Structure 1
Amino acid sequence: MQILQDKKIVLGISGGIAAYKTPELVRRLKEQGADVRVVMTDGAKAFITPLTLQAVSGNHVSDSLLDTQAELAMGHIELAKWADILIIAPATADLIARIAAGMANDLLSTLCLATDAPIAIAPAMNQKMWHAPATQRNIETLTQWGYHIWGPGSGEQACGDVGLGRMLDVPDLVTLSSDFFVEKHLAGQHWLITAGPTREAIDPVRYISNHSSGKMGYAIAHAALRAGAKVTLISGPVTITPPVGCHIINVESAAEMHQQALEHVKEATTFVACAAVADYRVANVAQEKIKKSNDAMQLDLIKNHDIVADIAQLADKPFIVGFAAETQNVEQYARGKLMRKNLDLIAANDVAKAGQGFNSDDNALTLFSAVDKTEIPLASKHIVAKKLVSLINEHYQQRYRT
Structure 2
Amino acid sequence: MLLANKHILLGVTGGIAAYKAPDLVRKLTAQGANVRVVLTKGAAEFVSPMSLQAVSGNPVHHTLLDPAAEAAMGHIELAKWADLLLIAPATAHCMAKLAHGLADDLLTTLYLATTAKVVLAPAMNQQMWKAPSTQANLSILQQRGVAILGPADGEQACGDVGVGRMLEPMDIVNQLTTSTAQVLQGKKVVITAGPTREELDPVRYISNHSSGKMGYAIAQAAVAAGAQVELVSGPVTLPVPAGCAIHRTVSAQQMHAQVMHSVKDADIFIATAAVADYRPKQVAAQKIKKNNDELTLTFVKNPDILNDVANLPDAPFTVGFAAESENVEAYARKKLASKKLAMIAANDISQPGLGFNSDRNALHVIWNGGDKKLPTGSKMMLAEALISLIAEQYNKS
For Structure 1 versus Structure 2, the TM-score category normalised by the shorter chain is 0.5 to 0.7
Equivalent pairs, count: 258
Change beyond 3 A, Cα 1:303–1:188: same
Amino acid of the structure 1 residue aligned with 2:199: A
Shift of 1:313: 1.4
Change beyond 3 A, Cα 1:239–1:174: closer
1:264 aligned partner: 262
The Cα offsets for residues 336-386 of structure 1, whole Å up to 9 and x where unpaired, read as 111100100011011011111111111001011122221001111111111
Task: Tell me if the contact between 2:328 and 2:347 (Cα under 8 Å) persists in the aligned partners.
Answer: yes
1:196 aligned partner: 194
1:395 aligned partner: 393
Q: Secondary structure at the match of 1:389?
A: helix
Task: Tell me if the contact between 1:363 and 1:380 (Cα under 8 Å) persists in the aligned partners.
Answer: yes
Q: Secondary structure at the match of 2:226?
A: coil
2:7 aligned partner: 6
Looking at structure 1, the residues matched to 191 and 303 of structure 2 have their Cα atoms a distance apart, in angstroms, of 17
Tell me which of 295, 307, 310 is aligned to 1:309.
Answer: 307
Change beyond 3 A, Cα 1:57–1:2: farther
Q: Does 1:252 align with 2:250?
A: yes
1:346 aligned partner: 344
Amino acid of the structure 1 residue aligned with 2:364: T
With a CA cutoff of 8 Å and minimum separation of 6, indicate the structure with the bigger relative contact order.
Answer: 2
Task: Tell me if the contact between 2:354 and 2:361 (Cα under 8 Å) persists in the aligned partners.
Answer: yes
Shift of 1:332: 1.1
2:371 aligned partner: 373
Structure-to-structure mapping, 1:126-141, within 5 angstroms: none
2:230 aligned partner: 232
Amino acid of the structure 1 residue aligned with 2:7: D
Amino acid of the structure 2 residue aligned with 1:270: I
Shift of 1:83: 12
Amino acid of the structure 1 residue aligned with 2:184: L
Compare 284-293 and 189-198 and name the one that shifted more. Answer: 284-293
Amino acid of the structure 1 residue aligned with 2:270: V
1:184 aligned partner: 182
The Cα offsets for residues 108-145 of structure 1, whole Å up to 9 and x where unpaired, read as xxxxxxxxxxxxxx9xxxxxxxxxxxxxxxxxxxxxxx
Q: Cα RMSD (Å) of the superposition? A: 3.7
Amino acid of the structure 1 residue aligned with 2:272: C
Structure-to-structure mapping, 1:310-329, within 5 angstroms: 310-329=308-327
Looking at structure 1, the residues matched to 145 and 307 of structure 2 have their Cα atoms a distance apart, in angstroms, of 39
Shift of 1:55: 4.4
1:275 aligned partner: 273
Q: Does 1:363 align with 2:364?
A: no
Amino acid of the structure 2 residue aligned with 1:314: L
Shift of 1:183: 2.6
Task: Tell me if the contact between 1:172 and 1:244 (Cα under 8 Å) persists in the aligned partners.
Answer: no
Looking at structure 1, the residues matched to 142 and 370 of structure 2 have their Cα atoms a distance apart, in angstroms, of 39
Structure-to-structure mapping, 1:10-49, within 5 angstroms: none
Looking at structure 2, the residues matched to 174 and 380 of structure 1 have their Cα atoms a distance apart, in angstroms, of 13
List 4+ stretches of structure 1 deviating above 2 A.
1-8, 53-60, 169-176
Change beyond 3 A, Cα 1:59–1:187: closer
Looking at structure 2, the residues matched to 54 and 2 of structure 1 have their Cα atoms a distance apart, in angstroms, of 33
Q: Does 1:221 align with 2:219?
A: yes
Shift of 1:267: 2.1
Q: Gaps (5+ residues) in structure 2?
A: 10-36, 39-69, 84-114, 116-139, 148-178
Structure-to-structure mapping, 1:69-218, within 5 angstroms: 183-218=181-216
